[in-house]
Amino acid sequence: MKKISNRFQRVCDIITRGFSGYTSRSCCIIISKIFCPENVSNIAAFVICLGTNDSSGKLDATEYHVPIKEYIENLEEIIKYLQHIGLNKNKIVLMTPGPYHHEKFTKWCYENGRTFPNKDNKLVSEYVKTCLSLAMKHNLDVINLYEEMMKDKDWSRFLTDGVHFSRDGSHLIYNLLHPVLEKKIDASEMLLPYWREINHIHPYDAKDDLCIKKCPNLTIKSS
């Protein structure tokens, strides 16, 4: 997210709301406690990436498993709620869960004294298909993270432990996400004027006292 934040610096703030170990079921319960009409009014884009934990097997010790039918219902409910509190549907972006690397994650579990997972990529792919179908149904932008990662012969490099993203994985996400956000965020409208556009000797000569949008009429003064 750091690269995304840098890309849209002084244009909009990038706010992450990730909750370790949460599923679509958990997020469905807490979303109304986090987002309300007052704090979604100025949102330029809202990215939803859920399904990694949901797609754990039924017998997984984490008890993360959420059946596909409920997973899709939860995503539907989240989208419905966001629209209800005033978020335009066109601002919503879905991102599928990424692939799961069993050998890497099993190794991590062994080294950290954790119970071995009950999960496989075949199951994850079913959640991916469901997410893609939902995006098509609602005509939403969607990023198929699973497919894009699997295109790389050495796709495990995108994951640190078989589940969580490595630096390479984060870089890939940036490359996939930023073009989608560019369509929704006007990066030309910088928050407050660029420093070269300010009369630093008489800053209040600026139109509207350093107005929020660019001020093309400012006199440029050298220091």
Q: Is the pLDDT of residue 145 over 90?
A: yes
Nearest in space to 72 (alpha carbons), one of 148, 162, 138: 138
* Statement: residue 2 has pLDDT above 50: yes
In tens, the pLDDT along 28-64 reads 999 999 999 988 888 889 999 999 999 998 877 678 8
Are the C-beta atoms of 156 and 162 separated by less than 8 Å?
Answer: yes
Q: What is the pLDDT of residue 217?
A: 38
Does position 1 have pLDDT exceeding 90, yes or no?
A: no
**Better-scored residue on pLDDT, 34 or 19:** 34
* 24, containing H or E segment: helix 24-34
Q: What pLDDT does 3 receive?
A: 78
Q: Which residue has the higher pLDDT, 172 or 19?
A: 172
What value does the mean pLDDT take over residues 6-23? Answer: 79
> Stretch 186-192: mean pLDDT, rounded?
66
Q: What are phi and psi of 198, to 5 degrees?
A: -105, 135
Rounded CA-CA distance 78/11 in Å is: 26
pLDDT at 57: 85
Instruction: Using alpha carbons only, give the angle 120, 92, 78 rounded to the nearest 5 degrees.
Output: 65
Encode pLDDT of 82-124 as tens digits.
999 999 999 999 999 999 999 999 999 899 998 888 889 999 9
- What is the pLDDT, as a whole number, of residue 14? 75
Global pTM? Answer: 0.82
Residue closest to 54 by CA, chosen among 23, 75, 26: 23
Backbone angles phi, psi at 97, to 5 degrees: -65, 155
| pLDDT for the residue numbered 211 | 44
Summarize the confidence of residues 176-196 as an average pLDDT: 78
